[in-house]
Structure formats: structure tokens, C-alpha cells
Amino acid sequence: MVEPLPLPVPFGWFFIAYSDELTTGEVRPVHYFGRDLVLFRTEHGTPCLMDAYCPHLGAHLGHGGRVEGETLRCPFHGWAISTEGRCVDVPYAKRTPSGGDRAGAVTAHPTVERNQIIWGWYHPRGEKPTFDVVEYPEVGDPDWEPLTRYHWRFRSNPQEIAENGVDPAHFRYVHGMDAVPEGETTYDGVMRCSMVEGPHTAEDPDGSVRTYQSRVVTVQNGAGQKCTRLSGLAETLLMTLVTPIDSQEVELRFAFTRRREKPGSLEEAMGVRSIENTAAGVEDDIRIWQHKLHRVHPLLCDGDGPIPEFRRYFSNFYVETAPSSSQEA
């Protein structure tokens, strides 16, 4: 049995659901960040993510709760909770109990909808967002294809997955690529930007081999949002979405779009293939990630990428609390 991963759940914006997975008035239980949560969409269409348990006698609002206007009615005694987590109506009481009408009677996690995704802000101490979700104009652009989506669940954490991007040596041994791509990584606050540019040789679908200029730009925005733009023969955009279920397990999603090309063209075939190859490639990473331990003090060599620098950057997304906190508090 591998020892437990020592890293806590980082704070940041994380994928909670695709927009089209949550219809108006829909309520569902979700479990992320080591917490039981309820996700719902109000009648005006606002998505909301809250801690699951009612402040009254503790019913799970995601199991039988229903949307009424801009509130969520508890299934147990009908109390209405607003999107700020205020108790705004107790149908059988003259007065709302003291404290219940304050925002945060139930912890509501800031939620935004962008890039066809519902994002939830998680912070272990409940602090407000310190940065924003980056918008990608390609997502939903009529010149770009609808999202192609992939989904995995396995034992790991967001830091291990992101560290792959600054680990050039693994490309050869995990992904069987000849050359170790040389990239440049810069850090700016919560952003990490990596760029790799160079000639790339590939076999066309018709069997001929050609060399072209390729460019891969990755921008990470905090612990939960990463986007890779790939250009060369095909232009694709990949959103890498990692959501911690708790400190030991993650859901990983890949959401791709590609520039709309002439049907049957070489560019279209290359775009489709690039997406399929990238999605297949990450399964080789997952085989490593799910069985590895996290070395706090790894033995590194001069051929390794700038892993210590990356870890300093990522440590900004942890606060000094235990990996999981009780929801009773």
C-alpha cells in the first residue's frame, strides 16, 4: 500500500461541472475538496455551490432539496437558503433564528460560469477569491469546434499533475518521444507560462512524413485552471481541469476545441489526431501518477527541469491547515 499523499487540497478555481450538465432548477450532491457539497442552478440561471448540510438539523440539501426562485428549499423542514448561504425563510416560524439570516450560515463557495464550465472557488479558510478565472475566446466561437471531453478519476493531487509540465525528461520515457522538448517557463503571480517552439516531424494521415513549425503555449492560472494552445499543422486548445475529490484523489478532465477546418482536409485530420493522441498520452502519465508517492525532497540531476522553482510557485496555493477539515465545525 502506497503511503498517503502529504499535500493538502490547494485553493483556487476548480472545474465543478460543464454548463450544459446543470439545467435551470437542477439540484445535485457533489463531493470535492474533501467536503460534501450541493450544486444547483436557480430559476434565473445562476449556478451555486454550497456546503451540503442544512444549518437547522443537518439534512443534505443535495438529496431532495429543490430550487424555488433564487433559493434552495431544504427537503427536511422547508427552510429556504439563498445563494449567499443565508437562511431567508422558515415557513413555520415567526422569526428566522438568530444568525441564520447572515450570509454564510451555510458556506457558499464563489461560483462563476465561463468557458462553458461552472467553476467553484475553494479556499480551506473560506477566504474570498484573490484572482479570476481566465476566459478563452476560442470556446464557443463559431470558427471553433464544440468541446471534445475526456474524464478520468484516480489517486493523485493537482500539484503532481501540473509538475509534469516542467519535467521534460519524462516525455521520452513515458511518452516515447525522441527529443526532449526545450521550453521556457516564466512565473508571474498566480500564472505560470511555458512555451515550446520548434520543428516537429509527423506522419500525415496519407503516410507521407513532413516537418513543420509547432508551438505549444501553456498557461496555468492557479491550482485548478490550465490551458494549452497548440499550433502547427492544426490549431487546438486544451483545457486541463483537475478537481481534488480530497487530498488523495482527483478527477481530471480534458476539454479540447480545435479550429474548424474544411471537412476532409489534412488540417482537419491532423486536428482530430492531435486531440486523440494527447488524450491517449495522458493515460501513460496516469499509470505513473496513481501509483507514485510524493517526494518532498527528490534526488534531482542536472538534466531535470526546473522542478524546485515550480514547487515554490505551487506552494503559494496552500495554506497552513490540515489536509482535511471536519464539516462539523
The C-alpha cell that represents 187 in the structure block? 512565473
Rg (CA), the chain: 22
Q: Give least dist CB 73 to ligand FES, A.
A: 8
Integer Cα distance of 329 and 326 in angstroms: 6
Q: Give least dist CB 81 to ligand FES, A.
A: 8
Q: Give least dist CB 116 to ligand FES, A.
A: 33
Integer Cα distance of 283 and 272 in angstroms: 18
Closest listed residue to residue 52, CA positions, set 41, 63, 66: 63
Integer Cα distance of 74 and 59 in angstroms: 7
Establish if 105 lies at the interface with ligand FES (CB under 6 A).
no
Q: Three-state DSSP class for 251?
A: strand
Establish if 285 lies at the interface with Fe ion (CB under 5 A).
yes
Partner interacting with residue 80 (select from Fe ion, ligand FES, none; CB below 5-8 Å by kind): none
Helices (H), 9-168: 158-163
Establish if 77 lies at the interface with ligand FES (CB under 6 A).
yes
198-202 long-range contacts, CB within 8 A, separation 24+: 200/232, 202/233, 202/270
Establish if 76 lies at the interface with ligand FES (CB under 6 A).
yes
Establish if 270 lies at the interface with ligand FES (CB under 6 A).
no
Establish if 266 lies at the interface with ligand FES (CB under 6 A).
no
Pairing state of beta strands 148-155 and 183-188? Answer: unpaired
Q: Give least dist CB 321 to Fe ion, A.
A: 30
Partner interacting with residue 164 (select from ligand FES, Fe ion, none; CB below 5-8 Å by kind): Fe ion
Binders of ligand FES among residues 15 to 74 (CB under 6 A) are: 54, 56-59, 74
Q: Give least dist CB 218 to Fe ion, A.
A: 12
Closest listed residue to residue 109, CA positions, set 323, 318, 327: 327
Establish if 164 lies at the interface with Fe ion (CB under 5 A).
yes
Integer Cα distance of 243 and 323 in angstroms: 15
If the CB atoms of residues 58 and 69 are measured against ligand FES, the closer one turns out to be 58
Q: Give least dist CB 74 to ligand FES, A.
A: 3
Partner interacting with residue 289 (select from Fe ion, ligand FES, none; CB below 5-8 Å by kind): none
From the list 76-84, 172-180, 213-221, 224-232, the region that binds ligand FES by CB under 6 A is: 76-84
Q: Give least dist CB 38 to ligand FES, A.
A: 12
Closest listed residue to residue 266, CA positions, set 288, 226, 233: 233
If the CB atoms of residues 32 and 79 are measured against ligand FES, the closer one turns out to be 79
What does each C-alpha distance from 197 to 49, 194, 241 come to in angstroms? 40, 10, 24
Integer Cα distance of 140 and 117 in angstroms: 11
Q: Three-state DSSP class for 181?
A: coil
Partner interacting with residue 285 (select from Fe ion, ligand FES, none; CB below 5-8 Å by kind): Fe ion
Return residues touching ligand FES (CB under 6 A): 54, 56-59, 74, 76-77, 79
Return residues touching Fe ion (CB under 5 A): 164, 285
